[in-house]
């Protein structure tokens, strides 16, 4: 996950928070302990990411609206919280293949409905496209496989065929121009032309 943020040229506090993003949730470490060990800035970022992850909902519609709202609220404090969460989700999507099919589809659907639009709104085109591509593979694995094969097939046949032949006029012109004295005759004929 830190590699994703490094590619985005994020600062050292964001990289540290990315590596520590699950510490508050998964261990006995508190926000205060993180602040003492690292910095207040890193602790705030980790806490912001943890708060987004802790949101639970009753219905799907409530989940989408509330999650989006919380993400936007977090963004107003520090955009880095959102970027860390987006990188975390991208990392999760890249490693989705090890999960059960049902969980893959649930996470991929949530990514399409929530994270891809946020990435789009933030102008993160490459991330949004990767979310959509990975989600499509997780939700529709057979369709993704068939499309992949269909795309590879024409490319393979195009590589096997010979390069396109040159038009006849191009070849004839080169023969004419390459004759000895052609350019010399051209320069004398244009010099004698009245202006």
Tokens (6 digits) for 28: 């006995």
Separation of alpha carbons 132 and 180, rounded Å: 61
Q: Assess contact for 80 and 45: CB atoms under 8 A.
A: yes
Q: Assess contact for 88 and 15: CB atoms under 8 A.
A: no
Q: Which DSSP helix (H) or strand (E) runs through 70? A: helix 60-77
Q: What are 177-183's contacts with CB under 8 Å, separation 24+? A: none
Separation of alpha carbons 175 and 160, rounded Å: 30
DSSP-assigned letter for residue 113: I
Please identify which residue in the block is written with the tokens 């040229």: 9
Residues annotated as catalytic are 25-26
């Amino acid at each position: 996950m830190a590699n994703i943020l490094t590619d985005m040229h994020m600062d050292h506090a964001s990289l540290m928070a990315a590596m520590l993003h699950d510490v508050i949730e998964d261990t006995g470490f508190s926000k205060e302990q993180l602040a003492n060990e690292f910095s207040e800035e890193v602790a705030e970022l980790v806490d912001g990411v943890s708060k987004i992850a802790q949101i639970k909902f009753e219905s799907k519609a409530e989940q989408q609206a509330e999650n989006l709202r919380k993400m936007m609220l977090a963004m107003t404090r520090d955009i880095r919280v959102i970027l860390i969460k987006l990188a975390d989700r991208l990392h999760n999507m890249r490693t989705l293949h090890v999960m059960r099919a049902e969980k893959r589809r649930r996470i991929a659907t949530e990514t399409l409905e929530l994270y891809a639009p946020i990435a789009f709104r933030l102008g993160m085109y490459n991330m949004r496209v990767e979310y959509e591509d990975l989600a499509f593979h997780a939700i529709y694995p057979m369709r993704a496989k068939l499309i992949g094969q269909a795309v590879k097939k024409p490319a393979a046949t195009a590589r096997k065929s010979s390069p396109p032949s040159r038009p006849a006029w191009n070849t004839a012109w080169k023969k004419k121009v390459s004759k000895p004295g052609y350019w010399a005759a051209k320069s004398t004929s244009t010099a004698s032309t009245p202006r």
